[in-house]
Chains A and B, each alone.
Chain A
C-alpha cells in the first residue's frame, strides 16, 4: 500500500529540548516536503527536498532543519523548540513538484510548553 508514515502522531515537549519527527514514504518519490497547519493559516511549507541530499527552504523554515540522506526518509528536526512551533505537522511526497498528486502522512500534533 502506498503510504507516507510519520512518527510520532502526538508529542508534548518542553521548550529547548531537541526533537525529531520522522517521515518515510514507500513510493520511490523524489519530491518530499514538510508543512505545518495552523487554524486560519492553512498549510504552509517548511522545507522541501527534490532528491537525496537536495533540500531547500519553504515559506516558514525558521527554527527547523531537515535532512535527506535516503530517498525514502525525510526527518524534520527542531533543534530548540519554542511554544510558537506548537502546530500540526504533515509530511508529503509526490513524484513531481506540483503536477502530480501529493500523498500526505497522518500528521504529528506537536505541543511545546
Chain B
C-alpha cells in the first residue's frame, strides 16, 4: 500500500538556524509534491508545489527538494524565526486515483 512518512518527532530549533524536514514515500510515483503549513486548530495553508523535473524550488526562506530516486522530499526553513513554529505537512497524489494524500506532519518549534 502507499505510505507517506514525515519526521516522526517534533523538531525544536534555535532561532536563526535551518530546520530540515523530510517526507519519504513508498509505492508512489508522484509527478509533483506539495507542502503545507498548519497552525493549531486552523486549516492547512499551501506553501509550495514541486514537480518531478524541478529537483529544487525556493520561496523566500523556504527551499524544497524532490528526489524521485530516493522517493524523498526535503523541506528547509532557513534563518528560522519563532513565527515559523507550526506543523508542516507534505502531500502527494495517489497513483490509482490522483487524489491528494497527506502525511501526518512534523511540528516545528523555533526558540527565540
Contact = CB atoms under 8 A, between A and B. Distances in A.
The reply to whether chain A is a binding partner of chain B is yes
Interface of A: 4, 33, 40-43, 45, 48, 58, 88, 90, 92, 97-107, 109
A33 B99 CA distance: 10
B93 A99 contact: yes
Interface residues of B, number: 22
Nearest to B34: A101
A45 B99 contact: yes
B42 A106 contact: yes
A97 B104 contact: no
A48 B98 CA distance: 12
Contacts of A41: 104
A17 B103 CA distance: 32
Query: Which of A41, A48, A58, A97 is most buried by chain B, counting CB atoms within 10 A of its CB?
Result: A97
Interface string B9-49: 00000000000000000000001101010000111111001
